[in-house]
Amino acid sequence: MLPLVFSHEAKSRHWPLVTICLIGLNILIFLFEVSLGDRFDVFIQDWGLLPARVEAEVTLHNLGTVFTSEFMHAGWLHIFFNMWFLYIFGDSLEDALGRWWYLMLYLVAGFFGSMAFIAASGGAPIPAVGASGAVSGVLGASLVIWPTARLNVPGLLLAWFSAGLLLTLALMAFGGAGFLVGLPAALLVFFAMLVWFVTKGGFLGGIFGFQSTPAWFVFGMYLGLNLWSGVATIVDPVMGGGVGYWAHIGGFVTGALFGWLFPKTPIALHRRRAFD
């Protein structure tokens, strides 16, 4: 995912209590995981989402792992990027939907993200953890509610992400042979984008300054890469590399549907609560 700043017409009018609490809860659970030391793997195995276990026997514990896994993470970068994106997009969405509807969106997107992962995993014996499905739901709802929003992305990171995406697609499409074609194409795209940014904003401004990018373009790349990679994992599970692509897809689609069901005018959304 891209480290970016999300800006749009709807500004937060209230302190994002639910978003802050969700971030705090995820961090506290992760710190607890880290404190376990050698028992970390056992904890992940017991409370992570294990498709083979859920499919083999429907018990209260096995069903509970669908939700507990949403608040667990496998490493520092894993939790950093999930919480960073939740913070960027969650505050405005919470303000627009209202706290209860927003919390419901987070949990429902996480649930259906987990269900999509189970359905596509083929009974995988490896546990899955992370808030990626729920956070993807937040992204999907944000895109539907604010389709004309723009993302401010540092030029260097936008060029690097675009080039990396192109190389990844080439490798996935042609295997090792894709490197011979994908690397030169990726380098060409990388430097061409940097030159374009520099001509518009000067050297430092073009490389390190923010570039206004349509949200649909960035999210489209995100969803497209996950779909491509998700299909690849069905063909060969090893290609998944431990990433829950279908959890991302399931969460994103759920969030988009959730956002579509609400009025399209963000200003009116804050008046609509789940519970009065």
Each residue's pLDDT tens digit, 105-133:
999 999 999 999 888 877 777 788 989 99
Q: Which residue is listed with tokens 């978003």?
A: 19
Q: What is the pLDDT of residue 249?
A: 93
Is there a domain that residue 218 lies in?
Answer: yes
Q: What is the pLDDT of residue 11?
A: 55
Q: List the domain range (segments joined by +) for residue 29.
A: 5-151+214-269
Cβ distance 108 to 137 under 8 Å? yes
Cβ distance 251 to 110 under 8 Å? yes
d(CA 188, CA 159): 10
pTM: 0.81
Q: What is the pLDDT of residue 210?
A: 79
Q: What is the pLDDT of residue 125?
A: 73
Cβ distance 153 to 213 under 8 Å? yes
Is there a domain that residue 66 lies in?
Answer: yes
Phi and psi torsions of 132, nearest 5°:
-60, -40
Per the model's pLDDT, the better-predicted residue between 147 and 71 turns out to be 71
Cβ distance 148 to 219 under 8 Å? no
pLDDT band at 2 (very low <50, low <70, confident <90, very high): very low
Cβ distance 65 to 111 under 8 Å? no
Q: Interior CA angle at 102 toward 96 and 104, to 5°?
A: 150
The CATH number covering residue 247 comes to 1.20.1540.10
Please tell me whether residue 152 adopts helix, strand or coil conformation: strand
> What whole-number percentage of the chain has pLDDT above 90?
25
pLDDT band at 5 (very low <50, low <70, confident <90, very high): low
DSSP bridge partners of 128? 49
Read off the tokens for 6: 């999300």
pLDDT at 1 over 60: no
Each residue's pLDDT tens digit, 222-275:
887 788 777 777 666 555 445 778 899 999 999 999 988 876 555 454 444 443
Is there a domain that residue 110 lies in?
Answer: yes
Is there a domain that residue 62 lies in?
Answer: yes
Q: What is the pLDDT of residue 134?
A: 95
What is the pLDDT of the chain when averaged over all its residues? 81
Number of domains in the chain: 1
Q: What is the pLDDT of residue 9?
A: 41
Cβ distance 18 to 102 under 8 Å? yes
Is there a domain that residue 241 lies in?
Answer: yes
Is there a domain that residue 130 lies in?
Answer: yes
Is there a domain that residue 84 lies in?
Answer: yes
pLDDT at 4 over 70: no
pLDDT band at 203 (very low <50, low <70, confident <90, very high): confident
Which distant-in-sequence residues (6+ apart) come within 8 Å of 219 by Cβ? 139, 140, 143
Q: What is the pLDDT of residue 179?
A: 78
Q: What is the pLDDT of residue 23?
A: 96
d(CA 20, CA 35): 22
For 66-83, what is the mean pLDDT? 90
Please tell me whether residue 252 adopts helix, strand or coil conformation: helix
Is there a domain that residue 40 lies in?
Answer: yes
Q: What is the pLDDT of residue 229?
A: 75
Phi-psi region at 24: left, alpha or beta (left = phi > 0; alpha = psi -120 to 50) = alpha
Each residue's pLDDT tens digit, 129-163:
989 999 999 999 988 888 877 777 788 888 887 88
Each residue's pLDDT tens digit, 52-65:
888 888 788 888 88
> What whole-number percentage of the chain has pLDDT above 70?
85
